[in-house]
Amino acid sequence: MNQKNSKTQEIYSITDLSKEFNISTRTIRFYESKGLICPARAGGTRVFYRGDRARLILILRGKRLGFSLKEIEEYLSLYDAEKGNKVQVEKLHELVNQRLEKLNGQMQDIKTTISELSELKELTKRGLAG
């Protein structure tokens, strides 16, 4: 599909998006069933606009970073909310801080594991040469 309508807004089919992001159409339908994306319909065909594509990017990024679907849903609701709403900005700030703390902890764990594996690699290398 990936065409432009009369308003010059790009539209995408479910196949376009699945190919672009290397995910299955089933995955996209799953996110739709969870209310994370809401494509328009043209008859029985799903029609995705630029905003839907942007939401899908955010969903996939959230999943890559280890966010739960519930956390992604919260984030998307904050993303969609009226800009400048203090309560929503505070909630987003809280979620970001929590996630940063978790990611920093994971990064330290990864660094430790890499260091330990590097030491083990050297020991096994010496053992093989020995």
Q: Could you state, in chain order, the average pLDDT of each consecutive group of 10 residues for the chain (130 residues)?
A: 58 95 97 95 92 94 88 81 72 82 94 97 89
pLDDT at 11: 92
pLDDT at 81: 67
Residue extents of the structural domains in the chain: 1-64, 81-130
CA distance 21 to 44: 23
CB-CB contact of 13 with 1 (8 Å) = yes
CA–CA distance from 19 to each of 5, 24, 72, 105 (Å)?
Answer: 21, 8, 22, 34
Tokens representing 129? 């040469």
Please tell me the pTM assigned to this model: 0.67
pLDDT at 89: 76
Instruction: Report domain 1-64's class.
Output: mainly alpha
Compute and round to an integer the Cα radius of gyration of the chain.
21
